[in-house]
Chain A
Amino acid sequence: MRSRLPQIFFALSTLALVLIVLAVWQASTPSWKTYQRNFLQLEAQGEPSAVTKAAVLATPPEIHQVMLTGLQRVDRCTTCHLGVDDPTMKNAPEPFRYHAGLGPHIPSRFGCTICHGGQGLATEKDAAHGKVDFWQTPLLTRDYIRASCGRCHKEGDVPGVPELTEGRHLFETQGCRGCHKLNGVGGSIGPDLTEEGANRRSPEWLEHHFIAPNAVSAGSPMPNFHFTSEQARALTYYMLSLTNEEMGTYYSSVRLIPSPEYGRQLFVEKNCIVCHAIGGIGAKSGPDLLGVTKQHSPEWLDEQLVNPDLVYPGSSMPEYDLETNARKALVAFMTSATPQDAQEILSGKGHTLTPEDAAIEAGKRDFARFGCAGCHGTELQGGLPNPNAQGGEVPSLLHVSDDYTKDEILAVIRNGRAPPLDKASGPTPPLYMPSWKNLLSEEDIHHIVDFLWSKQQKSKESW
């Protein structure tokens, strides 16, 4: 035994030497070096003289990275995608091809992953493209890449991406917020969507989910809204753009300019006129907005738009999930707004508002904004399947005045209600009426009931 020791010692030290040499070799031959060598050869072809050719080929290999502090990311994609900002590489093979049509989105300022997805820190192909376990955002395919525009362009029309505008519009009108929270505003029956785009859900999954929720997520209480494939695509785009990332000012400044015109558009869209008047024209439940920018600083108004209750405790003004520039635009509009504007906005509605009409109008707005329409339908028709609830579906609201008094309905909205069971032994129905008293002011609840009753009368008259 003793006599073998030197041989064992020799064998082991040789093995150690081999292993450490292997480890060094493994570390010195990453795949990106091959790509850089190939690129240099490609580049050298274009050089006129042998001297410059040799100089190009002698470039030492190194990892290129773009530090994007404003986007909180580091992109190393250009370690292999070396021709991205070189127009002479227009016809080069991938991964060296020039990226045409970027406009102001230059790679040194924006990197790659903010639009394309993938793993910017990685330097190996599969890992960098995010096609590995444990990376939530793989590269977006051609079909979905334009959804990324919505990460910075959070407001208004995004040129060339009508899907985003449509998706946002559907989200706010179909009552999605009734179940889903977005940026802190909305219900809690479904998952919070604030960071939906950052979750590892494939675009295909999302799109399929909008068309048939139960097909991809068994037992999901989400009703089938019978979206068309275009609508499903639009909503998928919108979902993919929701990442809740901190963006530096450089990137937020490329968002929509907060012009008075945009503010006016929002003023119409959010139906502000049903509570506020401008110079006496309009409704009276909120303060008159003429000259409001002279009484309050822009910061004060901005805060009021973010959180009305904080500025005026007990204010009946609801919280709107408005972007920074949207609030700025509204303030800009209020600076210039005249009674004539109000008249025009009202005449666009086709009739002048009595206080009763104003309340009904406000109720209608709240009905859409807080997502009641998500379950009860935009026309109050109800009818979403709700297994084991009485009748097996969400009740229609067209005939509530026959079965309930106003006070009873007020109580149901305030406190919520579990639907009466069809079979007592059956499973709990997935959908239920949430309690709204912490989300809606008493005034809002009354407006909604007024709105419901206005619909009742209409349906009775037509009877």
Chain B
Amino acid sequence: MKIRRRDFLKGVAASTLLLAAEQNPAQAKRARKDLPPNAVGILYDSTLCVGCKVCEHACKQANNKVAEHTSPNEPMWDDPQDLSDKTLNIIKRYGVEGQKDSVEGFAFIKRHCMHCIDPACVSACPASALVKNPENGVVTYNKKACIGCRYCQVACPYNIPKFEWDSPFPEIVKCQLCSHLLAKGGISACCAACPTGASLFGPVEKLRLEAKRRLGMEPGKYYDFPVADIESTEVQQHRAGGYVKHVYGERELGGSQVLYLAGVPFANLGLPDLPEDSYVALADGIQYAIYKGMVYPIVVLGGLIYIIRNREEKK
């Protein structure tokens, strides 16, 4: 008995080492994911945004969200400080504390779900309450499946999902790219409302090309800019801004369906510098190496049952 037991343990040790080798964190990543076939998204161009916040209003109207008052004074207007359980889309203005805009520059930024190509929230959710549509790639939420564990909030690299902390029956709240409007052939409410074309809806492939076109523009010269939907014919003439030569969201963490262009460094707009491989790919890779087809766990369980049974019978 002793010898067999030792052989078994040797086997376990050997396979653990193999596993460890396979599990070398640098190599455990799974392959990157591709853009869904009919992926739609938003190109937000900070240089075109005038900060009118009409998109915030349109978003609240389209998604049945109420106003929120965060200022200590008598409430006068809807003044969300950040995304919240009542605000799925927000315009923020970058400025440096104590500095004049004319010295430090300023810029608007619009924040909402990025609709990642490899979304951490979808991978994290244990109950498939967050899913990525295989056709248009929109990440949607199903409250009937959600258990409220909030792992999506921990996992989201952009801190997008919000939770209804003050409700006894809370839900997760996030931008779903107005999927209820898309289903009726429409576009997201924020883009439909945007008066300057700063928020532009459309197929991601076309938005990527449009972003590239803008990066090639000569600052100060006039160009045509599509408005609302890149597939519509409506255009406006604007002077091209001085762009930072980078399309944020094209490669970050495997890419997203929301893309950003800006005239100031993205880090200033609260968009962190991120690697091209998603953290999901790494976590999945490690889980996959260990639990591939449940082979290792079943082998280990079989071995354990074998040695424990023998031991109990000897007693």
B partners with A: no
